[in-house]
Amino acid sequence: MSDSFYVTTPIYYVNDAPHIGHAYTTVHADVLARWRRLHGDDVLFLTGTDEHGLKIQRAAEERGVSPQEWADTTSARFRDAWTLLDISNDDFIRTTEDRHRVSVQAFLQEVYDNGYIALDTYEGLYCVACEAYYTDDDLVDGLCPIHRRPVETVTEENYFFQLSRFEQPLLDYYAAHPEAVQPDGKRNEVLGFIKQGLRDFSMSRTSITWGIPLPWDPNHVTYVWYDALINYATAVGFGADPAEFARRWPVQYHLLAKDILRFHAVYWPAMLMAAGLPLPEHVFAHGYLLVGGEKMSKTSLNNIAPADLVPEFGSDGFRYHFVTDLHFGQDGDFSYEGMVARYNADLANNFGNLASRVLNMAMSYCDGRVPDARADGPLRAQAAVAFETMEAAFPALDFSGAFGAVWQLIRDANAYIEDSAPWKTHKAGDAAATAAVLGDCLETLRIVALLASPLIPRAATELWRRLGLDGTPEQARLPESAQWGSVPTAGNPLEKGAALFPRLEPTL
Ligand code: MSP
């Protein structure tokens, strides 16, 4: 049986409409999932929506609808956004689903039975936007350090999760598994946080009803973060399908931004330890996307939806930009001008020109068929380098490095065409030399379409078709299909087609 590969995004709050910040994580997870599918892994790519808690309850109240109605409406908007971006998630979880309640209650009961949850009284400063308590020391000018909004004093009799008991076990675990939190700088932040000392936290609420009741005390509902983190276990059958859970857990990658790293690299692993379960293989915290550039500097990032950009750039153009423009670990600016410039340079020019030049020449010089000849020029070695670079870059989630290698191959191929000038050999009547060079270029295009397919699936599939190849690039398998000459192509009918990425003029 093929390897299980399980990758997740955070489940997004339904108080907000999907914006390019959410899309940033989701597109990367999608590219990773597609890359592993090409390797024949049995991939489970999970995303979804986080629908409980005070924040959602209040958002619904403000609109005069029930929390469930509000959650239904917004959750659907996330699904629509992911459809628009060709996100290939295998499952979409909602925390208001029955399967999730079942799983959360089973998980809680396990942790309770293991003696890590106890009743206590708590008075604390609560930020509703964060759905988290703060101490006086955490506040900045008396306000929530994240949202700069007033916090509320809340007194509750709550059940507490004994996080403090996991301080040493977590430090020991991370010492033995340095790859578990990435990148390195983020792991150090997590270690620093744990070393400051971990406090027990309240994991139930009596002040609200919008949540999952505790199985042993239904007057309390589960704290939204405790409920939300368990989604990753629900989706693979925790408490419902032990065989599926054993096959899928632990997860390979949790992708998220640094804002919620603490929940994923401290709370969640401690919860899993308390339930006697293995910890995630990798928690990867990427940087934050900010808005820069002139045209959008007055717009907050939260107001830019994928649907604002896809009509102009296409879903491939959107995906390409957000995956290659920034280094995945670090913060960076989004700018509309930068997006247009990169689209034109990399997609319209480099990629699009290579495809149209090669197809055009092969149409007129080789009777519209893939020639039965190869020059065995430099592209063969360059294609191998591109693939090897990707194989090395992906495990570190170096997306820009991985696809940078494909675009290097594209530039190499464009340069090779200039150097070997098949139009000259054609003019000189040397059909064999012309066919040999174009044969190399067509084989390179096949490999480019294959390797770029996780990032720009539409254009890659269309190019595949124009090359007269069977099926789709998704059906090909790595590493075999990345080998030069691994697929018999001679005689395949070619098609010229329109520009894959028409040039753009900035319109904002
Ligand atoms: N519901 C919680 C997550 C629970 S996971 C068990 C939550 N939701 S959220 O809607 O606020 O989503 C936060 C996540 O959205 C970030 O961790 C990141 O994945 C993504 N992003 C939101 N804005 C972003 C940027 N500006 N830049 C990069 N990613 C961003 O927290």
CA of 257 to the centre of ligand 1 (A): 6
The C-alpha angle with vertex 60 and arms to 58 and 64, in degrees rounded to 5, equals: 115
Closest-CA residue, ligand 1 atom 15, reads: 22
CA 11 from chain centre, in angstroms, equals: 12
Which of 102-106, 117-121, 475-479 is predicted with the least confidence, judged by mean pLDDT? 117-121
Is pLDDT at 295 greater than 60 in this prediction?
no
Determine whether 19 is an active site residue.
yes
Q: Ligand 1 mean position to 248 CA, how many Å? A: 24
Could you identify the atom of ligand 1 that is nearest to the CA of residue 290?
26
How confident is the model at residue 297, as a pLDDT?
Answer: 58
> How does residue 359 score in pLDDT terms, banded at 50, 70 and 90?
very high
Pocket of ligand 1 (CB under 6 A): 10-13, 16, 21-22, 24-25, 50, 228-229, 231, 256-257, 259-260, 288-289, 301
Strand order in the sheet with 253-257: 91-94, 42-50, 4-13, 253-257, 282-286, 181-182
Q: Which residue of 8, 11, 12, 28 sits with most ligand 1 atoms within 8 Å of its CB, as the best mutation to test the pocket?
A: 12
pLDDT for 442: 98
Question: Catalytic one among 39, 258, 295, 327?
Answer: 295
**Ligand 1 atom, smallest distance to 10 CA:** 5
* Spatial separation of the C-alpha atoms in residues 286 and 267, rounded to whole Å: 18
The single residue listed with the structure tokens 């001679």 is 490
Return the pLDDT at 296: 56
pTM: 0.94
More confident residue, 145 or 214: 214
How far is 79 from 93, CA to CA, in rounded Å?
A: 10
**Per-residue pLDDT at 363:** 97
Residue 310 C-beta-side C-alpha neighbours within 13 Å: 16
Element (H, E) at 485: none
Higher pLDDT, 330 or 188: 188
Question: In this model, does residue 506 exceed pLDDT 90?
Answer: no
The dihedral over CA atoms of 382, 387, 391, 392, expressed in degrees to the nearest 10, equals 10
Instruction: Give the residue, by CA position, lying nearest to ligand 1 atom 8.
Output: 12
Q: What is the pLDDT of residues 273-290, one digit of tens each?
A: 999 999 999 999 999 998
Going from the C-alpha of 272 to that of each of 106, 161, 217, 233, the distances in angstroms are 13, 12, 21, 10
For the chain, how far is it from start to end, CA to CA, in angstroms?
Answer: 51
Q: What are phi and psi of 255, to 5 degrees?
A: -100, 140
Kindly name the residue from 127, 264, 282, 426 that is annotated as catalytic: 127
Closest by CA to 485, choosing from 438, 434, 448, 446, is: 446
d(CA 327, CA 318): 16
Q: How far is CA 444 from CA 264, 331, 344, 381, in A?
A: 41, 34, 21, 10
pLDDT at 329: 84
Can you tell me the distance from the alpha carbon of 242 to that of 253, in angstroms, rounded to the nearest whole number? 21
Active site annotation includes 298: yes
Q: Is position 441 annotated as part of the catalytic site? A: no
Known catalytic residue: 177? no
**CA 224 to chain CA mean position, Å:** 23
At 79-89, the pLDDT tens digits run 999 999 999 99
Closest atom, ligand 1, to C-alpha of 12: 10
Out of 10-19, 486-495, 499-508, which region has the weakest mean confidence (pLDDT)?
499-508
Mean pLDDT of the chain: 95
Determine which residue's CA is closest to atom 7 belonging to ligand 1. 12
Indicate the top mutation candidate among 96, 100, 259, 325 to test ligand 1's pocket, ranked by most ligand atoms within 8 A of CB.
259
For residues 385-400, average pLDDT: 97
Ligand 1: which residue has its CA nearest to atom 29?
Answer: 21
Whether 327 is a known active-site residue: answer no
More confident residue, 395 or 124: 395
Q: Could you say which DSSP state residue 251 is in?
A: P
Residue-wise DSSP of 151-203:
-EEEEEEEEEE-GGGGHHHHHHHHHH-GGGEESHHHHHHHHHHHHT-PPPEE-
Tell how far the Cα of 261 is from the centroid of ligand 1, in angstroms.
10
**What does the pLDDT read at residue 254?**
98
The tens digit of pLDDT for each residue in 159-218 reads: 999 999 999 999 999 999 999 999 999 999 999 999 999 999 999 998 889 999 999 999
**Measured from the CA of 228, which atom of ligand 1 is nearest?**
6
Instruction: Please state whether beta strands 117-127 and 91-94 pair in parallel, antiparallel, or not at all (unpaired).
Output: unpaired
pLDDT score at 173: 98
Which of 25, 107, 266, 328 should be mutated for ligand 1, with most atoms under 8 A from CB?
25
Whole-angstrom CA distances from 117 to 107, 165, 201, 345, 382 are 12, 11, 10, 56, 58
Would you say residue 102 has pLDDT above 70?
yes
**What is the best residue among 46, 260, 288 to mutate for testing ligand 1's pocket, by most ligand atoms within 8 Å of CB?**
260
H/E stretch holding 327 reads none
Q: Which residue in 28, 130, 282, 426 is the catalytic one?
A: 130
Which residue's alpha carbon is nearest to atom 19 within ligand 1? Answer: 256
Q: What is the mean pLDDT of residues 454-464?
A: 98
> Hey, how many other C-beta atoms are within 10 angstroms of the C-beta on 209?
11
d(CA 284, CA 183): 7
Q: Provide mean pLDDT across the span 405-428.
A: 97
By alpha-carbon position, which residue is closest to atom 20 of ligand 1? 22
Interacting residues of 83 by C-beta distance below 8 A, sequence separation 6+: none
Q: What is the pLDDT of residue 249?
A: 98
pLDDT given for residue 123 in this prediction:
83
pLDDT band (50, 70, 90) for residue 132 = confident
- Contact between 4 and 443 under an 8 Å Cβ cutoff? The reply is no
Report which ligand 1 atom has the smallest distance to the Cα of 285.
17
Q: What is the DSSP string of 110-161?
A: HHHHTT-EEEEEEEEEEETTTTEEE-GGG-BTTB-TTT--B-EEEEEEEEEE
The pLDDT assigned to 298 comes to 61
To the nearest whole percent, how much of the chain has pLDDT over 90? 84
The model's confidence at residue 301, banded by pLDDT at 50, 70 and 90, is confident
144 is catalytic: yes
Task: Report the distance separating Cα 319 and Cα 81, nearest Å.
Answer: 13
